[in-house]
């Protein structure tokens, strides 16, 4: 399977001068295919996130991004991504508030959590981006292939579900019955108010219980997630128009405008050092959180998920903040410097974070520097990891993390015209 893609990749790898980079790229590029994919009898595709036996809507979308450019020429790749989207839409129809799912309705997962769950639900953490990624993915697949067959009745049904949830969570306390609480969780890692969320004001934005790190939101309105929702709703609008669903497209478009207006009105903070920057979270009542996390969507990754160009003034200011010690999760050490996460120990830099720094840089020297930094911090495993001790690459979390591996291989494909000029 995937012969056309494999031929293209083999030809590309022959051009890579560095043996270390060649092996690292090959392992990372194929990690998703080799270790996480299962074709099911209904034609859908189940994808593990790696070392956790469940499928995340976010991770599964991001872990397949490096294959999309081959979907037009390689029918196996097209069917792989089409099958994955089919599975994602199935899960969203079962429980649009869950972030991760079992392959079968076996009841596995975080069964001790308070709140509703289905037998398919591994974990029911409501994260805005979980509903954005599948739309982002199907849009990219359509743009590469032009095949309208993927814009079927299940796509329309899923768009309706997502829009309904987003509208409900614009008025979380008034309209939503969602809550999620885990007894014994670390302080600050449960949603405030015993899983129901703290005080918020209506802003037009969408409430989120959790961040893409699976850590709880502090202030309710997660700005990068709302930005991604704007992007996903705009992409849905365009696709719905392609198939004549103009009324639903109008609803999606209007919702995108409401959310975006909320971001612009409530999500921008005037920082004394950096000027206007985007907050990480706000409550609409005046409280805000300034930080950034390696997980995507993040503030650093805004151009990557296509909310705003890297040359916008506010993004430039925000980027400077994110890549400074004013960001409590930015670290520099002997081995690594970049953004980490409250999800991992203090002083741990994420490969994903520095790869996103490269993907959003626009500076070839930065890209080469970061690729070298990844090469020199894999602990000779020839894979990327989650968090790595900034001073000791032998101390890391998650030896099998498909999302991070995919993102690095995507960076190499995007950088193929410059890597041999700076990496021997």
Q: What letter would DSSP give residue 150?
A: G
How confident is the model at residue 275, as a pLDDT?
Answer: 99
Render pLDDT for 342-372 as a digit per residue (tens, 0 to 9).
999 999 999 999 999 999 999 999 999 999 9
What is the CA angle 149-134-318, rounded to 5? 135
Q: What letter would DSSP give residue 322?
A: H
Model pTM score = 0.97
Q: What letter would DSSP give residue 95?
A: -
Render pLDDT for 62-77 as a digit per residue (tens, 0 to 9).
999 999 999 999 999 9
How confident is the model at residue 107, as a pLDDT?
Answer: 96
Buried b (16+ CB within 10 A) or exposed e, 32-71: bbeebbeeeeeebbbbbbbebebbbbbbbbbbbbbbbbbb
The token duo for 120 is 């398919």
Render pLDDT for 230-266 as a digit per residue (tens, 0 to 9).
999 999 999 999 999 999 999 999 999 999 999 999 9
For the chain, the straight-line distance linking the first and the last C-alpha, in angstroms and rounded, comes to 32
Span of 47-61, 145-159, 275-289, 302-316 with lowest mean pLDDT: 47-61
- Name which CATH class applies to 37-320: mainly alpha
Query: Hey, where are the domains in the chain?
Result: 1-35+329-424, 37-320
How confident is the model at residue 95, as a pLDDT?
Answer: 98
How confident is the model at residue 187, as a pLDDT?
Answer: 81
CA distances from 169 to 164, 174, 322 (A): 9, 9, 28
Give which of 305, 285, 327, 266 is closest to 201, Cα–Cα: 285
Residue pair 29/66 in contact (Cβ under 8 Å)? The answer is yes
């Amino acid at each position: 399977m995937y012969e056309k893609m494999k031929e293209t990749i083999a030809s590309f790898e022959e051009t890579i001068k560095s043996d270390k980079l060649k092996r690292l790229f090959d392992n990372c590029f194929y990690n998703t295919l080799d270790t996480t994919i299962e074709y099911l009898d209904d034609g859908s595709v189940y994808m593990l996130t790696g070392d956790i036996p469940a499928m995340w809507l976010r991770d599964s979308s991001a872990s397949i991004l490096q294959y999309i450019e081959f979907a037009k020429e390689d029918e196996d790749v097209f069917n792989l991504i089409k099958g994955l989207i089919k599975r994602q839409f199935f899960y969203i129809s079962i429980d649009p508030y869950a972030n991760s799912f079992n392959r079968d309705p076996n009841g596995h997962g975080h069964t001790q959590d308070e709140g509703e769950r289905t037998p398919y639900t591994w974990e029911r953490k409501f994260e805005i981006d979980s509903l954005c990624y599948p739309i982002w993915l199907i849009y990219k697949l359509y743009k590469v292939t032009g095949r309208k067959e993927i814009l079927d009745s299940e796509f329309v049904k899923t768009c309706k579900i997502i829009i309904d949830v987003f509208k409900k969570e614009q008025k979380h306390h008034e309209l939503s019955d969602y809550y999620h609480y885990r007894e014994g969780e670390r302080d600050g890692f449960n949603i405030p108010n015993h899983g129901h969320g703290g005080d918020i004001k209506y802003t037009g934005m969408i409430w989120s219980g959790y961040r893409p790190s699976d850590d709880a939101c502090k202030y309710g309105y997660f700005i990068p997630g709302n930005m991604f929702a704007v992007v996903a709703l705009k992409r849905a609008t365009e696709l719905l128009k392609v198939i004549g669903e103009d009324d639903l497209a109008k609803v999606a478009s209007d919702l995108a405008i409401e959310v975006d207006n909320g971001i612009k009105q409530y999500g921008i903070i005037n920082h004394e050092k950096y000027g206007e920057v985007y907050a990480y979270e706000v409550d609409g009542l005046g409280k805000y959180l300034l930080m950034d996390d390696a997980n995507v969507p993040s503030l650093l990754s805004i151009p990557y998920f296509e909310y705003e160009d890297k040359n916008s003034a506010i993004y430039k200011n925000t980027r400077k903040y994110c890549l400074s010690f004013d960001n409590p999760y930015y670290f520099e050490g002997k081995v690594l410097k970049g953004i980490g996460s409250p999800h991992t120990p203090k002083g741990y830099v994420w490969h994903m974070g520095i790869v996103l720094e490269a993907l959003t840089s626009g500076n070839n020297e930065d890209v080469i520097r970061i690729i070298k930094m990844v090469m020199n911090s894999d602990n000779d495993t020839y894979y990327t990891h989650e968090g790595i001790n900034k001073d000791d690459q032998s101390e890391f979390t998650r030896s099998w993390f498909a999302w991070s591996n995919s993102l690095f291989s995507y960076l190499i494909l995007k950088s193929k015209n410059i890597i041999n000029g700076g990496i021997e």
